[in-house]
Chains A and B, each alone.
Chain A
């Protein structure tokens, strides 16, 4: 033990603490993890976080632009309670499009933890408590509305629940397939190995999106939302596992020759014990990293398929389904806020990438592109 409290003894730092030490230095990864925890929490409690349901229409606001949250009113008076101004709608005589301006006569204060639409949280708890509403009069649309007058803010977070969970479920499935096939190939070797290798090679040489398209087009139209959800998840995982399997196989092959595995075998440990007790733990960390970096691919895949109209379908709300409304440039030019779900896709994917980078650098300090920001 050292006498000075400021010095720390290297011997007392566990590998886990060391990883955490290194991870903490990766500032972007730290920011990302905060962002991801927040957005997953918001998606988990989206009924509570958002003021409206997915199908609630506001006929006074069709294709209305995002509102500005204000603390200072027209007269320069500061209000501690944030508020928004209602819309004034008029039709442009040239383009026949609705145009909205703020009407300072309609001032809607935002109340926190207030009552609003009734909903059942996770289908269990019957309540009408929301994070914020404008009370019973007025309306609030931070991200604007779509052509049916549905609140985009609410729909983005409901969509987050679907899009984000597909990422996780898909990766778990991918992990399972990848570890299974990679492990079998790496441990058994021989003809099994060659067969799995060949399948991996074939799957990796297929352009994913066209095949995803073909498979999702094959999902029966009659399937329920939940069926399509799992169908799409399985389709996404089908082409995701080869990368992981290849990695796991390589590690298995290398580990099989490691001294500690050989000595375990010589000591008479069973095959299962060797695999689960000695080999798997030694590459869990790498597996976690790969899994983290695989999630963005899943999210982007779902978004692309739903955007093309062959993934999830309304009334299911996902980021891809929301993006589907912005198919052509007329819509984008008129209602650019419909691209907001895309912004969430980009931020989430980036966050997962940074997180994966941070994890890899923390776990494997010798990896070349470690960042010490």
Chain B
């Protein structure tokens, strides 16, 4: 098992290296750079900028260096924990990302838990009572969740919140708690706001998760080992949990890896709609303003989050399925 973990962690590194190259290329794609956009702004304001000043600026941001150097400079700093400087906020990126990333992580993880809390019982019910009215009802309701873009769901929740309950939905804190230090009241205020993005983000993955579990479980329900266990007298509920469900949950665990990118994507857009202080809105601002260090850091951190999530799901799978462990 220990060797397996080591092998998997080691296997992550080339993946992350490739990801960093892709991200670097992507953030370099837009024509122009921060200096040209600064110049455009200054010239629009009527400020004259000399060629020397331009050169200085370019040198300051390493923009006069070859691409490979810029990449190595960026990733080298990233590895030692220096994510560069945000032009947009005129602050080091390090100061900007962690809190937002924390909220993103919190929303994503709680959405994941929400997804499971709904999808697992629903999937089990749907499989055990296949073709029943409940099965159809659940499948259809879940499909609605799958088909509704998460931003639309966020808009609908806002509409319902305002129209039916007269409350304005948005943000992670009430105004009075926004800029005060953490306290018990602030935590409860936070939790009161957290559940909305949790539900909205979580619903998008519920349908697919439920369907995967339903399909897996249906596959397993009539396997010979279930009949064997039933023939030796295992009681129905224990039989279901210990035999088919135990196996059906295995491929399901491996879907965490696929679910995470979906949830992080959903979180980004829902946060933009609901105005949450997470990575999504900041990322889009950074992208539009070509604040490449900030945008690159956000993208890289989100990717790392996903890769770690996938690693965890693989380890969980190895722990739960002896066949993988002994490979």
Give the interface of A toward B (CB within 8 A): 198-199, 201-202, 204-211, 213-215, 217-218, 220, 296, 300, 303-304, 307-308, 310, 323, 326-329, 332-333, 336, 339, 342, 345-347, 349-350, 353-354, 367-369, 371-373
* A329 and B29 contacting across the interface, CB-CB below 8 Å: no
A-B contact pairs, 8 of them (CB 8 A): A204-B261, A205-B15, A205-B257, A206-B303, A214-B283, A304-B151, A310-B287, A353-B147
Counting residue pairs across A and B whose Cβ atoms lie within 8 Å, the total is 154
* A214 and B158 contacting across the interface, CB-CB below 8 Å: no
B92 interface hit (Cβ, 8 Å): no
Q: Which of B85-131 contact A (CB under 8 A)?
A: 131
Q: Given contacts A207-B264, A369-B218, is CB(A333)–CB(B162) below 8 Å?
A: yes
Q: Which of B264-318 contact A (CB under 8 A)?
A: 264-266, 268-269, 272-273, 279-280, 283-284, 287-288, 295, 298-299, 302-303, 306-307, 310
Residue numbers in B under 8 Å from A328 (CB-CB): 158
Residue numbers in B under 8 Å from A300 (CB-CB): 149
Residue numbers in A under 8 Å from B31 (CB-CB): 220
* A217 and B168 contacting across the interface, CB-CB below 8 Å: no
Q: A349 to B208: give the CA distance in the assembly, Å.
A: 13
Q: Of the candidates B19, B143, B266, which one forms a contact with A206 in the assembled complex, judged by CB atoms under 8 Å apart?
A: B19
* A206 and B215 contacting across the interface, CB-CB below 8 Å: no
Q: A211 to B262: give the CA distance in the assembly, Å.
A: 12
Q: A336 to B175: give the CA distance in the assembly, Å.
A: 26
Q: Given contacts A214-B26, A350-B144, is CB(A209)–CB(B268) below 8 Å?
A: yes
Q: Of the candidates B19, B284, B302, which one forms a contact with A308 in the assembled complex, judged by CB atoms under 8 Å apart?
A: B284
Residue numbers in B under 8 Å from A204 (CB-CB): 257-258, 261
Bitwise, B229-257 to A at CB < 8 A (1) or not (0) is 00000000000000000000000000001
* A205 and B22 contacting across the interface, CB-CB below 8 Å: no
Q: A342 to B22: give the CA distance in the assembly, Å.
A: 33
* A373 and B303 contacting across the interface, CB-CB below 8 Å: no
Residue numbers in B under 8 Å from A373 (CB-CB): 131, 136
Q: A350 to B156: give the CA distance in the assembly, Å.
A: 18
* B19 and A368 contacting across the interface, CB-CB below 8 Å: no
Q: A135 to B152: give the CA distance in the assembly, Å.
A: 36
Sample of 5 more A-B contacts, CB < 8 Å, known A217-B284, A328-B158: A199-B18, A201-B15, A211-B23, A345-B152, A346-B147
* A307 and B151 contacting across the interface, CB-CB below 8 Å: yes
Residue numbers in A under 8 Å from B272 (CB-CB): 308
Query: What's the nearest-Cβ distance from chain A to residue B146, in Å?
Result: 7
* A198 and B287 contacting across the interface, CB-CB below 8 Å: no
* B306 and A350 contacting across the interface, CB-CB below 8 Å: no
B155 interface hit (Cβ, 8 Å): yes
Q: Which residue of chain B is the closest to A199 with respect to CB atoms?
A: B18
* B288 and A371 contacting across the interface, CB-CB below 8 Å: no
Residue numbers in B under 8 Å from A327 (CB-CB): 273
Q: Given contacts A198-B14, A205-B19, A304-B149, is CB(A210)–CB(B306) below 8 Å?
A: no
Query: What's the nearest-Cβ distance from chain B to residue A16, in Å?
Result: 25
Residue numbers in A under 8 Å from B287 (CB-CB): 213-214, 217, 310
Q: A332 to B307: give the CA distance in the assembly, Å.
A: 37
Query: What's the nearest-Cβ distance from chain B to residue A222, in Å?
Result: 9
* B268 and A213 contacting across the interface, CB-CB below 8 Å: yes
* B162 and A329 contacting across the interface, CB-CB below 8 Å: yes
* A210 and B214 contacting across the interface, CB-CB below 8 Å: no
Q: A326 to B158: give the CA distance in the assembly, Å.
A: 11
Query: What's the nearest-Cβ distance from chain A to residue B120, in Å?
Result: 16
* B288 and A310 contacting across the interface, CB-CB below 8 Å: yes
Residue numbers in B under 8 Å from A211 (CB-CB): 23, 26, 299
Q: Of the candidates B19, B155, B295, which one forms a contact with A214 in the assembled complex, judged by CB atoms under 8 Å apart?
A: B295
Residue numbers in A under 8 Å from B302 (CB-CB): 207, 210
Residue numbers in A under 8 Å from B169 (CB-CB): 329
Residue numbers in A under 8 Å from B151 (CB-CB): 304, 307, 323
Query: What's the nearest-Cβ distance from chain B to residue A358, in Å?
Result: 13
Q: A18 to B298: give the CA distance in the assembly, Å.
A: 51
Q: A267 to B298: give the CA distance in the assembly, Å.
A: 56
Residue numbers in A under 8 Å from B257 (CB-CB): 204-205
Residue numbers in A under 8 Å from B14 (CB-CB): 198
Residue numbers in A under 8 Å from B260 (CB-CB): 207
Q: Which residue of chain A is the closest to B170 with respect to CB atoms?
A: A329
Q: A214 to B279: give the CA distance in the assembly, Å.
A: 13
Q: A202 to B12: give the CA distance in the assembly, Å.
A: 10
Q: A218 to B30: give the CA distance in the assembly, Å.
A: 4
Q: A346 to B144: give the CA distance in the assembly, Å.
A: 7
Q: Given contacts A198-B14, A342-B152, is CB(A333)–CB(B303) below 8 Å?
A: no
Q: Given contacts A206-B303, A207-B265, A353-B147, is CB(A333)–CB(B218) below 8 Å?
A: no
* A198 and B269 contacting across the interface, CB-CB below 8 Å: no
Q: A218 to B24: give the CA distance in the assembly, Å.
A: 13
Q: Given contacts A329-B159, A329-B169, A371-B131, is CB(A207)–CB(B147) below 8 Å?
A: no
* B22 and A206 contacting across the interface, CB-CB below 8 Å: yes
Q: Of the candidates B15, B18, B299, which one forms a contact with A210 in the assembled complex, judged by CB atoms under 8 Å apart?
A: B299
Bitwise, B6-43 to A at CB < 8 A (1) or not (0) is 00000000110011001100110111000000000000
Q: Of the candidates B146, B155, B216, B265, which one forms a contact with A332 in the assembled complex, judged by CB atoms under 8 Å apart?
A: B155
Q: A100 to B131: give the CA distance in the assembly, Å.
A: 47
Q: Which of B162-183 contact A (CB under 8 A)?
A: 162-163, 168-170
Q: Given contacts A213-B283, A308-B272, A339-B155, is CB(A202)–CB(B26) below 8 Å?
A: no
